[in-house]
Amino acid sequence: MSTAPAATATVRLLVGKVGLDGHDRGAKIIARALRDAGFEVIYTGLHQTPEMIVEAALQEDVDGIGLSILSGAHLTLFPKILSLLKARGGEDIVVFGGGIIPDEDAAQLKEAGVQAVFTPGTATGDVIQWVRTHVPPRKR
């Protein structure tokens, strides 16, 4: 990433697909767009459990986790990941996500600690901008 701007070069992100959901079009597009914007991006691939996501996030020492869920299981999977992060001392990792998520549920997720929820139709530029302003490099 030699062309990456210095301000974002140190921000590391995990883009993940959690649960059985195989819809990876959005996750791959977002992962690639974030990478092209200069972030370091690790894409988990499909069918990850919450435990696997948290393990990977800690191993890779990321600053933010972006999760894509199109299966309707968001109210189960996001909170589980947040509580696992907390239990393992990773609560300062910023968690955000996207998918088929009704407004009501998005509000509930934000209350639970998901920092942003992006629904279909979001421009990749908006996600990049949000990450730039909301995902600071963690103190290491």
Applying CB under 8 A, the residues found at the interface with other proteins are 19-25, 28-29, 31-33, 35, 41, 43, 45-47, 49, 71-77, 80, 100, 102-103, 119-121, 123-125
Distance of alpha carbon 3 from alpha carbon 87, whole angstroms: 37
In the complex, what is the shortest distance from the CB of residue 91 to other proteins, in angstroms, rounded to a whole number? 22
Residue 21 Cβ vs other proteins, minimum distance, rounded to whole Å: 6
Q: Helix axis angle, 25-36 relative to 124-134, nearest 10°?
A: 60
Closer to other proteins by Cβ: residue 28 or 132 = 28
How far is the C-alpha of 131 from the C-alpha of 140, rounded, in Å? 19
Q: Least distance from C-beta 110 to other proteins, angstroms?
A: 16
